[in-house]
Structure 1
Amino acid sequence: MNTSENPAELFGLRLAHVGINTNTPEEAASTADALCALLGIERGEEPFPVSSFAGSLVEVMNNGGRGEKGHIGLHVDDIDAAQAWYEARGVEFNESSRTLCPDGSGRTYLIYFKEEIAGFAIHLTIAD
């Protein structure tokens, strides 16, 4: 695979986090706390009120979430360029999932691919 075909080299693509679906905010918080204890990490920053983080490794969704089994977040350095690269290869995105940065900049923070893989929704994000 040459550089122009390797999104890890082109956009810094790497695993950002794994998402776990739970049914309530309380279940999400206790799941995040249990994972923190198991992994020896602290609770992570929670930029949106829909989840709890165990460090930056695991996002525990409060009231279910995308994906039959959960989701996988993939970090990229340039989300717009990465999206264009994937679309040029026939990969579709769920435009209704586009979330803007909480800083008010108008930049895209995350966007989900249209198709799930093995029950997991997958999204690109600029967050680690």
Structure 2
Amino acid sequence: MNEQNANPVELFGMRVAHVGINATDPADALEIAELFSTMMGLPVIETPVSYFNDSLVEIMKQNGRGTKGHIGFAVNDIDAAEKWFAERGLEVNEESRALLPDGGTKLVYFKREFAGFAVHLCRE
């Protein structure tokens, strides 16, 4: 594939990993997660900072990143994807980088919001 015509979906298997919703507090987050559970039949999974409905929706227990929430994009090579996006002027926020025990990147947010949403890359 010609690099000029390449796109990250094809290059890195990029897909929407989840949509993040900012709640006002933990009780509000749980109520939202339970609504999505009723709608989709997916279990509610609690983490220290959020509730997930399977891996599709993440409801933050507080006002999280992004004015309207966040969108996580899974990629099969996060280092290469970061470089590809940087070459196109989309910088990552180093302060947001979360690491795996092996030192690799688990997730990293872009510096700018997209239409009010924080956007992050994460490992597939």
Give the TM-score normalised by structure 1: 0.89
Structure 2 CA distance for aligned equivalents of residues 99 and 35 of structure 1: 27
- Aligned partner of 2:44 in structure 1 is 43
What is the Cα deviation at residue 92 of structure 1? Answer: 1.0
Change (3 A) 1:3 1:125: farther
d(CA) in 2 for partners of 1:92 and 1:100?
18
Aligned to 2:24: 23
Q: What is the rounded CA distance, in whole Å, between the counterparts of 1:67 and 1:15 in structure 2?
A: 16
Q: Secondary structure at the match of 2:66?
A: coil
Consecutive unaligned residues in structure 2, runs of 5 or more: none
Change (3 A) 1:116 1:24: same
Which amino acid counterpart does residue 110 of structure 2 have in structure 1?
F
Q: C-alpha offsets along residues 34-68 of structure 1, whole Å, 9 cap, x if unaligned?
A: 10111111124x5x511100111100001110000
Gaps of 5+ in 1: none
Structure 2 residue corresponding to 1:110, chosen from 82, 90, 107: 107
Q: TM-score, normalised by structure 2?
A: 0.91
Q: CA RMSD in A?
A: 1.4
Give distance in 1, aligned partners of 2:120 and 2:18: 10
CA–CA separation in structure 2 for the residues paired with 1:89 and 1:119:
20
CA positional deviation for 1:25: 1.6
Q: Percent identity?
A: 52
What number of residue pairs does the alignment pair up? 122
Distance in 2 between residues matched to 1:93 and 1:23, nearest whole Å: 26
**Residue 122 of structure 1 corresponds to which residue in structure 2?**
119
